[in-house]
């Protein structure tokens, strides 16, 4: 008896264990997958850790999220309403930045820091939070995949998500402090919640009659799930206001689904119930958190609730219309035609009555959702461009999973169209996947979204094969397969091999582990750190320029209400920094100074107008016109007289809002120059032509090189010429890092003709590798020429300039030259500044920007320049006889006639200095 009992207990225990494993085997697998996803993304954590007070991040927008997160830590639970620390001289409403994403990070940091986290604690939290959020995406991915393909399908979807080495991975590693990871998480949750609400509605069948009869008990469950779906959609929009696109996706889904159901002779009440309740909930929640009353996609504005209410109302209207079709016994097949006519009329009405709303919606569809309507300036941003080589690109992102997902998509459509097993949630996945396919092929950046449809469509394909092969989805699938056929096992094995072999060694070009190891701080961040640190320590705080005492009115983490005209009234002593838009957030965070242009691409056109100005006079006119430039005409399109007229219209407030510093990097004069030129409507080819050049091999060839149009730009004159011959700009800091520039041309005909490969390009390791590959090609000749070496970042101060005057015994029209030897202390580089003037009535006058004596300090509201004069100005005169000689500075041998000492007070106040 004892032996029988023991055997029964063993059998019972074994059965219980198997039952437990069958029920819960997916849980440890999910945990392992999530842990793997987290580990992959924190491999480079040590490269970002807080050291010497330095924040290290990836990508330009990360820097602004760091600012908004720190703001929320200091002002919890509020996010930044308006920021005067960027987009000088207006400031900006930050819109899609400083949202639920930043609130979540700030809240976790406050919890970890027990209510008072240090900067180091906050930084550690954000470095770990991004990979943690990425790992959490596995949960809704599994849930969606399970609904489509059972537990095996859900696990396959998660495995794919964990192994994709493309954009989704690179946007979710440590240091990538951007809202992308939260977008994917909350969109997935919104889709999952909507799927559940639709399925519950299909089972519970909430109808119009039950609503009228107030059968609340039978409506409670579908209503509850629909409200949760609406909340999930609102959470997604709170993370990213442009996520209003999801409302558009849902609107299209309900339009199609309600039309199909009605055309099939069935009432669509249950679907309309979900749409009305869910989107109505979204509308109420987004309306409650609306911050501005404008209509645009990038801000929490009227657009989000208006569109949500429109879709909710549309669902109700379509149900009402369907009931009219039934009551009047109209052929249900004509219903979709009637709906289409109503939509066309509605769109035309909106376009006529509310053209701004229509243009906003259309503008966010073209070039974002569908691959049409790109602007030339938008295409200067790499992430906004469509994939170049689509087959190669999708393989690099997803392997063969993209193609198997297409098979799954076709199969899902076929199931809905050709079988009786049609589920609304399947229709939702089809519409969502098609929408994201278009978005991913329109802008490469949206591929971080696309991983979820790719994964879950493969989950459906796995489930479909298991279903058709009659394989069990439990732990005993192998045993069961022996009796269900060999073909099913082969199909499943073939699919799994096709999915995973291209993503793992040795087949994968880049594995997810290798891709995770490449995450590192942005080159820009490291490049600009020393210059921004110098600016922070050696220039007056905004509000203290020229001795003003208004820094308290510009507290870095202060709270500022939104001005009615979106134009912040800066206090006396505030000033801006001119640079290209790519570097605006880095200047705000690292230097705690106020950039004019920023990565929101605000003021990109005016920055380009200044940087490409063909003379100092025009550059000064552009800067003078900035505060008053509110018209539709961009500054680069105005003539000098028009710019002067705009500047004359400045108010007293605007006259005090000056650009005081100009920061230029090697990238701006190199490979980014073509983008800068594009913002002025000028093709980059206008800035180079064929010239005779000397190669590094000592040969003279005719090849493309930068021309006078380029050399005359403010950008080139400041960066390459150290403001030589300019009146109002002085170099105040040289970076101790250097960049080598060169032009590279190639010839395929033995040197008879040369084509440009790189023109005035920074010789980065990538460019050097490219040149080495060209040299290794025996059919190609390579010429390297026009080499230059310059500090990587230069900082200039804009000053009034001192007026040097004197009398000389020289013929009328003779050229007077003032030379000043200077040394940049940090780099140790020496250079000569030179200014010229003509003799008139025995006298000369010229304006110079460099001082020989430092008599102003940061404490007094001025700059502690790290570029020092090695002596006084040396003044000489040379006789000239013709206008050509005067213009070219050619004349008799110069004769020294005097020297001049120029104090800093003179260059700031525009004082006259006698020679």
Task: Report pLDDT digits (tens) over 178-197.
Answer: 999 999 999 999 999 999 99
Mean pLDDT computed over 42-70 = 87
Mean pLDDT computed over 475-489 = 52
In whole angstroms, give the CA distance from residue 50 to residue 57: 10
pLDDT confidence bin for 363, thresholds 50/70/90: low
In whole angstroms, give the CA distance from residue 611 to residue 582: 14
In whole angstroms, give the CA distance from residue 32 to residue 908: 64
300 has a pLDDT exceeding 80:
yes
Question: What is the chain's length?
Answer: 915
What's the pLDDT at 382? Answer: 62
Q: By C-alpha distance, which of 726, 732, 797 is closest to 575? A: 797
607 has a pLDDT exceeding 70:
yes
> Is there a contact between 65 and 102 (Cβ–Cβ < 8 Å)?
yes
Q: Which fold has domain 801-914?
A: Immunoglobulin-like (2.60.40)
616 has a pLDDT exceeding 90:
yes
Q: What is the DSSP string of 661-721?
A: EEEEEHHHHTTTHHHHHHTTT--GGGGEEEEEEEBTTS-EEEEEEE-HHHHTSHHHHHHHH
> Is there a contact between 209 and 165 (Cβ–Cβ < 8 Å)?
no
What's the pLDDT at 13? Answer: 53
- In DSSP terms, 662 is beta-bridged to 578, 796
In terms of average pLDDT, the best of 199-203, 440-444, 630-634 is: 199-203
Extract the tokens encoding 583: 């570097």
> Is there a contact between 665 and 792 (Cβ–Cβ < 8 Å)?
yes
DSSP state of 581: G
What's the pLDDT at 476? Answer: 42
DSSP state of 802: E
In whole angstroms, give the CA distance from residue 16 to residue 159: 28
CA 526, distance to chain mean position in Å, is 19
Compute the CA torsion angle 715, 719, 724, 730 (nearest 10 deg): 100
Architecture of domain 525-691+707-731: 3-Layer(aba) Sandwich (3.40)
Domain residue ranges in the chain: 2-133, 181-331, 525-691+707-731, 801-914
Alpha-helical segments (H) within 264-302: 269-288
> Is there a contact between 543 and 656 (Cβ–Cβ < 8 Å)?
no
pLDDT digits (tens, 9 = 90+) for 803-818: 999 998 888 888 999 9
What's the pLDDT at 124? Answer: 93
What's the pLDDT at 7? Answer: 46
pLDDT confidence bin for 381, thresholds 50/70/90: low
What's the pLDDT at 589? Answer: 95
What's the pLDDT at 540? Answer: 96
> Is there a contact between 655 and 665 (Cβ–Cβ < 8 Å)?
no
367 has a pLDDT exceeding 90:
no
In whole angstroms, give the CA distance from residue 445 to residue 386: 9
In whole angstroms, give the CA distance from residue 180 to residue 158: 18
What's the pLDDT at 1? Answer: 42
Q: In what helix (H) or strand (E) does residue 869 lie, and over which residues does it extend?
A: strand 867-869
What's the pLDDT at 426? Answer: 95
Mean pLDDT computed over 329-335 = 81
DSSP state of 554: G
pLDDT confidence bin for 827, thresholds 50/70/90: confident
CA 765, distance to chain mean position in Å, is 24
> Is there a contact between 632 and 551 (Cβ–Cβ < 8 Å)?
no
In whole angstroms, give the CA distance from residue 234 to residue 280: 10
CA 787, distance to chain mean position in Å, is 32
Q: In what helix (H) or strand (E) does residue 609 lie, and over which residues does it extend?
A: helix 604-611
DSSP state of 831: E
Whose tokens are 């509020």? That residue is 78
896 SS3 class: strand
What's the pLDDT at 483? Answer: 47
Q: By C-alpha distance, which of 728, 741, 877 is closest to 812? A: 877
pLDDT digits (tens, 9 = 90+) for 725-747: 999 999 999 998 999 999 999 99
HEC secondary structure over 311-375: HHHHHHHHHHHHHHHHHCCCCHHHHHHHHHHHHHHHHHHHHHHCHHHHHHHHHHHECCCECCCCC
Mean pLDDT computed over 336-341 = 85
HEC secondary structure over 415-460: HHHHCCCCCHHHHHHHHHHHHHHHHHHHCHHHHHHHHHHHHHHHHH
151 has a pLDDT exceeding 80:
yes
Cis amide prior to 439 (ω within 30 degrees): no
Q: Classify each residue of 615-653 as buried b or exposed e, where b means 16 or more C-beta atoms within 10 Å of its C-beta.
A: ebebbbbbbbbbbbbeeeebbbebeeeebeebbeebeee
Extract the tokens encoding 432: 């969502």
> Is there a contact between 213 and 95 (Cβ–Cβ < 8 Å)?
no
466 SS3 class: helix
* Range in 222-231, 333-342, 590-599 with the lowest mean pLDDT: 333-342
What's the pLDDT at 9? Answer: 45
CA 422, distance to chain mean position in Å, is 40
In whole angstroms, give the CA distance from residue 906 to residue 730: 13
How deeply is 497 buried, as exposed, middle or buried, from its count of CB atoms within 10 A (0-12, 13-18, 19+)?
exposed
In whole angstroms, give the CA distance from residue 113 to residue 92: 30
In whole angstroms, give the CA distance from residue 853 to residue 43: 52
120 has a pLDDT exceeding 80:
yes
pLDDT above 90: percentage of residues in the chain: 64
Q: What is the DSSP string of 610-667?
A: HHT-SSHHHHHHHHHHGGG--SSS-GGGS-HHHHHHHHHT--HHHHT-EEEEEEEEHH
659 has a pLDDT exceeding 70:
yes
Degrees to nearest 5, angle at CA 474 with 471 and 479: 60
In whole angstroms, give the CA distance from residue 643 to residue 728: 18
677 has a pLDDT exceeding 50:
yes
Whose tokens are 């074994």? That residue is 14
CA 566, distance to chain mean position in Å, is 22
Mean pLDDT computed over 5-16 = 51
DSSP state of 117: -
DSSP state of 822: E
> Is there a contact between 252 and 271 (Cβ–Cβ < 8 Å)?
no
Q: What is the DSSP string of 370-391?
A: BS----TTGGGSGGGSPPSSHH
Average pLDDT taken over every residue of the chain: 88
pLDDT confidence bin for 879, thresholds 50/70/90: confident
pLDDT digits (tens, 9 = 90+) for 762-780: 998 889 999 999 989 988 9
In whole angstroms, give the CA distance from residue 114 to residue 629: 47
CA 425, distance to chain mean position in Å, is 32
What's the pLDDT at 885? Answer: 53
């Amino acid at each position: 008896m004892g032996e029988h009992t023991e055997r029964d207990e063993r059998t019972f225990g074994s059965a219980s264990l198997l039952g437990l494993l069958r029920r819960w085997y997916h849980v440890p697998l999910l945990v392992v997958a999530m842990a793997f996803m987290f580990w992959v993304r924190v491999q480079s954590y040590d490269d970002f850790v807080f050291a010497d007070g330095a924040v290290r991040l990836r990508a330009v927008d990360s820097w602004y999220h760091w600012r908004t997160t720190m703001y929320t830590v200091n002002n919890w639970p509020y996010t930044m309403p308006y920021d005067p620390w960027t987009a000088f001289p207006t400031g900006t409403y930050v819109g899609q930045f400083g949202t639920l994403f930043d609130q979540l990070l700030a809240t976790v940091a406050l919890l970890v820091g027990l209510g008072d986290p240090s900067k180091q604690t906050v930084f550690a939290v954000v470095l770990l939070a991004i990979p943690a959020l990425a790992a959490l995406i596995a949960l809704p991915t599994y849930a969606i995949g399970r609904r489509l393909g059972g537990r095996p399908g859900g696990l396959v979807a998660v495995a794919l998500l964990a192994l994709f080495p493309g954009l989704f991975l690179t946007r979710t590693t440590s240091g990538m402090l951007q809202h992308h990871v939260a977008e994917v998480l909350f969109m997935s949750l919104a889709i999952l919640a909507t799927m559940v609400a639709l399925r519950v509605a299909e089972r519970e069948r909430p109808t119009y009659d039950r609503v009228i009869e107030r059968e609340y008990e039978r409506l409670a469950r579908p209503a509850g799930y629909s409200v949760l779906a609406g909340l999930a959609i609102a959470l997604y929009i709170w993370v990213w206001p442009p996520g209003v696109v999801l409302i558009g996706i849902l609107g299209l889904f309900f339009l199609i689904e309600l039309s199909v159901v009605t055309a099939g002779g069935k009432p669509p009440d249950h679907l309309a119930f979900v749409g009305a309740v869910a989107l109505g909930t979204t509308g109420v929640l987004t309306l409650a958190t609306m911050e501005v009353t404008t209509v645009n996609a990038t801000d929490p504005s009227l657009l989000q609730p208006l569109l949500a209410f429109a879709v909710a109302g549309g669902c109700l209207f379509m149900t009402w219309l369907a009931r009219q079709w039934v009551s009047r016994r109209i052929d249900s097949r004509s219903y979709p035609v009637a709906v289409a006519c109503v939509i066309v009329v509605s769109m035309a009405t909106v376009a006529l009555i509310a053209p701004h709303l229509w243009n906003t919606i259309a503008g966010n569809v073209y070039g974002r959702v569908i691959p049409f309507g790109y602007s030339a300036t938008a295409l200067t941003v790499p992430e906004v461009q469509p994939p170049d080589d689509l087959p190669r690109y999708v393989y690099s992102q997803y392997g063969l999973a993209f193609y198997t997902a297409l098979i799954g998509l076709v199969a899902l459509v076929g199931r809905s169209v050709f079988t009786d097993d049609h589920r609304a949630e399947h229709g939702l996945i089809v519409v969502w996947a098609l929408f994201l396919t278009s978005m991913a092929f329109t802008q490469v950046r949206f591929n971080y979204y696309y991983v979820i449809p790719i994964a879950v469509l493969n989950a459906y394909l796995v489930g479909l094969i298991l279903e058709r092969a009659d394989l069990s989805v439990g732990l005993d699938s192998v045993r069961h397969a022996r009796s269900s056929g060999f073909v099913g096992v082969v199909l499943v094995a073939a699919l799994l091999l096709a999915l995973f072999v291209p993503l793992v060694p040795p087949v994968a070009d880049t594995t997810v582990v290798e891709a995770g190891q490449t995450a590192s701080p942005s080159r820009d961040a490291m490049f600009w750190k020393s210059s921004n640190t110098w600016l922070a320590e050696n220039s007056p705080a905004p509000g203290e320029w020229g001795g003003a005492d208004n820094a308290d009115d510009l507290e870095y983490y202060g709270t500022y209400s939104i001005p009615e005209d979106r134009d912040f009234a800066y206090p006396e002593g505030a000033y801006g920094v001119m640079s290209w838009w790519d570097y605006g957030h880095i200047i705000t965070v690292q230097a705690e100074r106020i950039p004019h242009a920023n990565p929101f691409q605000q003021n990109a056109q005016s920055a380009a107008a200044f940087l490409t100005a063909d003379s100092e006079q025009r550059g000064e006119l552009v800067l003078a016109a900035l505060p008053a430039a509110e018209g539709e005409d961009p500054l680069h399109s105005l003539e000098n007289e028009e710019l002067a007229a705009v500047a004359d219209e400045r108010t007293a407030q605007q006259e005090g809002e000056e650009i005081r510093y100009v920061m230029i990097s090697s990238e701006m004069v190199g490979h980014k120059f073509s983008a800068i030129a594009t913002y002025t409507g000028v093709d980059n080819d206008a800035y180079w032509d064929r010239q005779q050049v000397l190669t590094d091999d000592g040969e003279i060839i005719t090849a493309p090189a930068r021309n006078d149009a380029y050399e005359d730009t403010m950008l080139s004159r400041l960066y390459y010429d150290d403001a030589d011959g300019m009146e109002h700009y002085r170099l105040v800091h040289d970076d101790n890092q250097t960049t080598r520039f060169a032009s590279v041309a190639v010839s395929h005909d033995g040197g008879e003709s040369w084509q440009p490969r790189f023109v005035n390009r920074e010789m980065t390791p990538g460019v050097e590798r490219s040149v080495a590959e060209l040299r290794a090609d025996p059919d190609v000749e390579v010429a390297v020429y026009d080499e230059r070496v310059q500090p990587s970042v230069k900082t200039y101060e804009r000053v009034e300039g001192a007026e040097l005057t004197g009398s000389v015994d020289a013929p009328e029209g003779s050229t007077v030259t003032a030379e000043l030897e200077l040394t940049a202390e940090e780099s140790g580089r020496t250079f000569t500044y030179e200014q010229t003037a003509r003799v008139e009535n025995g006298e000369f006058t010229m304006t110079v920007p460099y001082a020989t004596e430092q008599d102003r300090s940061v404490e007094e509201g001025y700059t502690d320049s790290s570029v020092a004069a090695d002596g006084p100005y040396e003044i000489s005169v040379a006789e000239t006889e013709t206008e050509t000689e005067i213009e070219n500075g050619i004349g008799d041998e110069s004769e020294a006639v005097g020297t001049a000492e120029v104090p800093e007070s003179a260059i700031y106040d525009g004082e006259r200095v006698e020679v």
